[in-house]
Amino acid sequence: MHNTRNITENIIWIGASDRRIERFENLFPLSHGIAYNSYLILDEKTALLDTVDGSITDQFLENVNHTLAGRTLDYLIVNHMEPDHCANIEALVRRYPQVKLVGNKKTFQFFNQYYTLDITENQYLVSENDEISLGKHVLQFHLAPMVHWPEVMFTYEKSEHILFSADAFGTFGALSGNLFADEIDFDRYFLDEARRYYANIVGKYGAQVQAVFSKLPLSEINMICPLHGPVWREQVSSIIEKYQLWSTYTPEKKGVVLAYASMYGNTENAVQKLASLLAVRGVKDLRMYDVSKTDLSYIVSDVWKYSHLVTASPTYNLHLYAKMANVLEDLAALNMRNRKVAILGNYTWASAAKKGMETIFSSMQNMEVLGSYDIKSSPKDEDLAYLETLSDTIAASVFEEPQQ
């Protein structure tokens, strides 16, 4: 059965959700599934904005068929040529052989890399600021390279001021009938997942997000339609403000994330003690993670949120413990910057973890090291003295941070 919702009189959401999926991109855990959005505009001409993942093809094609109600499809706008959104292009070209596929040079390059169907006759090449009139609706195209792939475009519908933003403004999490962010307790149920999505999927490309924002009439936008998660029609500025912080690597909140690796509990013991010392000094909302237990995407997300990061790890095989190396190398790969950090190493017969963490942080921009220290095997009184001093330093630094 078809399952669609109008987002305006003549623009219809025709997406669906997948709750069976375990991991997005076979990498990021999804406890509540994910939505794949697609939008169909009915005007003198018809235009579809992106398709969906192969997991929901049947629902999607039924929605297309129902919504077109016998009309043909004139345009398929391909804002993003990643398989979770382009899996059904071939099926649509076969159904509507006259359809114009609207994309840029990279779009068609990637199509030909993924698929074998000859779309030479269907290609409709656009570049920055090009427009297509559908009748009342006018689509204007803005290239958004590396947000988060090179072919990404945003499409701005000028008559109703609607931004079709590809993956930007998306979130993990399936939709449950409520399509609009204002129909949901977004901050409770989606904000953490929106941040985890941003940090891990788009986070590396903050400069590119800022570049495309500079081309858009942000204050005029009435509605944001991302490819994943809820549609924004009220308080649009609230999610734009989050993106302004996230894409400039600006902490949302003063606070401390403590991420540790621990083989026998000794490093964990030191971090637990440090956390207690910070709490006694008035630091609230401490976030502590065992990197061997918590998927790194959640840790990365909290590092995006908070101003300070403590990492603690034993040496293993004369190297930084692999799970900690994974977290820190991922943060470096994502271009994380502008945080204050402290380092606790631990070793029994050779020290390498402390140096390993220092090296990774030094490769990142504006990561101020507030302290770096090695524990020998298990924390003792002389270590407690250092932890006391470190907690004084971190707490003072936290309270110096401007409140967001």
Residues that bind ligand FEO (CB under 6 A): 80, 82, 84-85, 148-149, 167, 227-228
At its nearest, how many Å lie between ligand FEO and the CB of residue 51? 11
Residue 86: partners with Cβ closer than 8 Å, 6 or more residues away = 50, 51, 78, 80, 111, 114
At its nearest, how many Å lie between ligand FEO and the CB of residue 37? 9
Taking the C-alpha atoms of residue 253 and residue 63, their distance in angstroms, rounded to an integer, is 42
Between strands 253-260 and 306-316, the pairing is parallel
At its nearest, how many Å lie between ligand FEO and the CB of residue 24? 8
Q: Which is nearer to ligand FEO, 23 or 136 (CB)?
A: 23
Q: Which is nearer to ligand FEO, 83 or 371 (CB)?
A: 83
Q: Which is nearer to ligand FEO, 153 or 310 (CB)?
A: 153
At its nearest, how many Å lie between ligand FEO and the CB of residue 312? 34
Q: Which is nearer to ligand FEO, 211 or 286 (CB)?
A: 211
In the block, tokens 């345009």 appear at 75
Q: Which is nearer to ligand FEO, 228 or 305 (CB)?
A: 228
Beta bridge partners of 320: 315
CA triple 3-75-125, angle to 5 deg: 140
Taking the C-alpha atoms of residue 261 and residue 101, their distance in angstroms, rounded to an integer, is 49
In the block, tokens 């078809």 appear at 2
- Cα 3–chain centre separation: 27
At its nearest, how many Å lie between ligand FEO and the CB of residue 201? 7
Please list, residue by residue across 282-313, b when 16 or more beta carbons sit within 10 angstroms of its beta carbon and e when fewer do. ebeebbbbbbeebbbbbbbbbbbbbbbbbbbb
Residue sitting closest to ligand FEO (CB): 82
Q: Which is nearer to ligand FEO, 243 or 260 (CB)?
A: 243
At its nearest, how many Å lie between ligand FEO and the CB of residue 152? 8
Token representation of residue 217: 């009439």
Residue 260: partners with Cβ closer than 8 Å, 6 or more residues away = 267, 268, 271, 288, 289, 290, 291, 310, 311, 312, 313, 324, 344
Token representation of residue 189: 């149920």
Q: Which is nearer to ligand FEO, 25 or 400 (CB)?
A: 25
At its nearest, how many Å lie between ligand FEO and the CB of residue 182? 23
